[in-house]
């Protein structure tokens, strides 16, 4: 079986530096906010060109801390795409706000700016919720249309948060993601392009005030001393051991992004006439967290997945149900039709893509798909 994600191969490649980093933490025993955490924050900020990086315990907590810092809660509308992972939508609900789902572009799968503008107008006209924030998601490794999203947000007075959980390392107009919104949330879940050995995340911002709030909120709302509690916060710190793992991986990160692009190029070349391959966001470079293809319908997708399994080729579905169709969000959804998100859920499928997928295995994946769709 070809691995969908090969963390063992990656670990073998970086083992000397990984062990050195981990042994340093075991020697100094500063397991919470140790020196590796500060080093990681400095390197991540420099990588993206951001002024501040605040590491946190997960990508979901990064979104929550950013929302808490803005005081977003009951009566507030938070606009976000209907086609993404649940973490993006669950945080507004946890804080008492209401997620307002927006449809996505049928080709790039990124949030549709035109539909966002229409949804904001609908919410304002209804007069029940106050538009407060936009969470734009850089889905599958590609950037959202941030110039258009920023223009809409600025005209509507919305706080912007870039949910860059899947796309750290991607770029737009020659600039690494991390400064497109008021704040950027990153995830270090193991399957992400830059993944730890457990949960982890970070927030990037150019705002001194927001960065200070994020640091306070991640540590129970503390002030200048540990036992000065200035606000209600949470326990959202990144473990030092995770920071050590990420530092070892960051050394090879750009090389791994290039390897992911190599696999994507093979898929593009071999599969473009067999099914619908990913359309690139203009003037961008993807981190290729996910290589998502489209099939004509769900029945063909089911048959293809079954055939691939028989041939030792894994696949996955991101995502089998649009968020507004999830039971958890039924009560908060206003009933708006989101046909693109609904359609994508029935036809989308992901193929294996990671830095250690050889050319031969990538060709084998293509052969298996071509044979199945023959």
Domains of the chain, residue spans: 7-250, 253-373
Structure confidence at residue 6 (pLDDT): 98
DSSP letter (8 states) at residue 278: P
pLDDT of 10-53, one tens digit each? Answer: 999 999 999 999 999 999 999 999 999 999 999 999 999 999 99
Q: Which CATH architecture has domain 253-373?
A: Alpha-Beta Complex (3.90)
Residue 309 has pLDDT above 90, yes or no: yes
Residue 374 has pLDDT above 90, yes or no: no
Quick check: bond before 319 cis, omega within 30? yes
Distance, CA of 7 to CA of 68 (rounded, Å): 34
Whole-Å CA distances, 209 to 12, 70, 220, 292: 41, 11, 17, 38
Residue 98 has pLDDT above 90, yes or no: yes
The dihedral sign for the CA sequence 110, 72, 158, 61? negative
The pLDDT > 90 percentage for the chain reads: 99
Dihedral Cα 318, 322, 326, 331, nearest 10 deg: 150
Q: What mean pLDDT is predicted for residues 231-258?
A: 98
Give the 3-state secondary structure percentages of the chain, helix then strand then coil, rounded to 5. 45, 15, 40
Structure confidence at residue 226 (pLDDT): 87
Q: What mean pLDDT is predicted for residues 90-113?
A: 98
pLDDT of 155-176, one tens digit each? Answer: 999 999 999 999 999 999 999 9
Distance, CA of 44 to CA of 71 (rounded, Å): 26
**Residue 310 exposed, middle or buried by CB count within 10 Å (0-12, 13-18, 19+):** exposed
Q: What mean pLDDT is predicted for residues 64-79?
A: 98
Structure confidence at residue 67 (pLDDT): 98
pLDDT of 107-119, one tens digit each? Answer: 999 999 999 999 9
Number of other CB atoms surrounding residue 46 within 10 Å = 10
The pLDDT > 70 percentage for the chain reads: 100
Q: What mean pLDDT is predicted for residues 349-371?
A: 98
**Residue 62 exposed, middle or buried by CB count within 10 Å (0-12, 13-18, 19+):** buried
Residue 209 has pLDDT above 90, yes or no: yes
Structure confidence at residue 168 (pLDDT): 98
End-to-end CA distance of the chain: 21
Structure confidence at residue 1 (pLDDT): 94
Q: Contact at 8 Å (CB) between 206 and 226? A: no
Listed residue (242, 258, 170) closest to 201, CA to CA: 242
Statement: 7-250 belongs to CATH 3.40.640.10: yes
Rg (CA), the chain: 21
Q: What mean pLDDT is predicted for residues 175-193?
A: 98
Number of other CB atoms surrounding residue 207 within 10 Å = 14
pLDDT of 129-144, one tens digit each? Answer: 999 999 999 999 999 9
Residue 361 has pLDDT above 90, yes or no: yes
The mean of the pLDDT values for the chain is 98
Look-up of token digits 């927001």: 210
């Amino acid at each position: 079986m070809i691995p969908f994600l090969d963390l063992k191969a990656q670990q073998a490649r970086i083992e000397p530096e990984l062990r050195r980093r981990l042994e340093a933490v075991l020697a100094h025993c500063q397991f919470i906010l140790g020196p590796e955490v500060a080093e990681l924050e400095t390197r991540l900020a420099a990588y993206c060109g951001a002024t501040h990086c605040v590491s946190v315990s997960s990508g979901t907590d990064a979104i929550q801390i950013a929302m808490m810092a803005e005081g977003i809660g009951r009566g507030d509308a938070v606009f976000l795409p209907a086609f993404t992972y649940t973490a993006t939508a669950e945080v507004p609900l946890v804080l008492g706000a209401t997620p307002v789902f927006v449809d996505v572009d049928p080709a790039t799968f990124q949030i549709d700016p035109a539909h966002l503008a229409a949804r904001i107008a609908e919410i304002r006209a209804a007069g029940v919720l106050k538009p407060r924030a936009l969470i734009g998601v850089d889905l599958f490794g590609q950037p959202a249309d941030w110039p258009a999203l920023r223009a809409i947000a600025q005209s509507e007075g919305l706080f912007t948060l870039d949910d860059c959980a899947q796309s750290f390392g991607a770029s737009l107009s020659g600039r690494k993601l991390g400064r497109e919104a008021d704040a950027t949330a990153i995830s270090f879940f193991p399957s992400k392009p830059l993944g730890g050995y457990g949960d982890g995340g970070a927030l990037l911002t150019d705002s001194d005030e927001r960065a200070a709030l994020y640091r306070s909120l991640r540590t129970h709302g503390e002030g200048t001393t540990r036992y000065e509690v200035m606000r209600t916060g949470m326990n959202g710190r990144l473990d030092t051991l995770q920071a050590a793992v990420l530092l070892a991986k960051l050394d090879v990160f750009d090389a791994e992004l290039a390897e992911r692009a190599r696999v994507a190029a093979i898929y593009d070349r071999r599969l473009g006439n067999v099914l619908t391959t990913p359309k690139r966001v203009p003037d961008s470079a993807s981190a290729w967290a996910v290589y998502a293809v489209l099939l004509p319908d769900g029945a063909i997708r089911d048959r293809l997945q079954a055939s691939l399994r028989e041939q030792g080729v894994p696949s996955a579905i991101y995502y089998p149900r649009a968020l507004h169709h999830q039971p958890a969000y039924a009560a908060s959804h206003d009933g708006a039709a989101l046909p693109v998100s609904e359609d994508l859920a029935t036809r989308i499928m992901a193929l294996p893509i990671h830095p250690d997928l050889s050319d031969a295995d990538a060709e084998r994946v293509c052969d298996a798909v071509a044979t199945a769709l023959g």
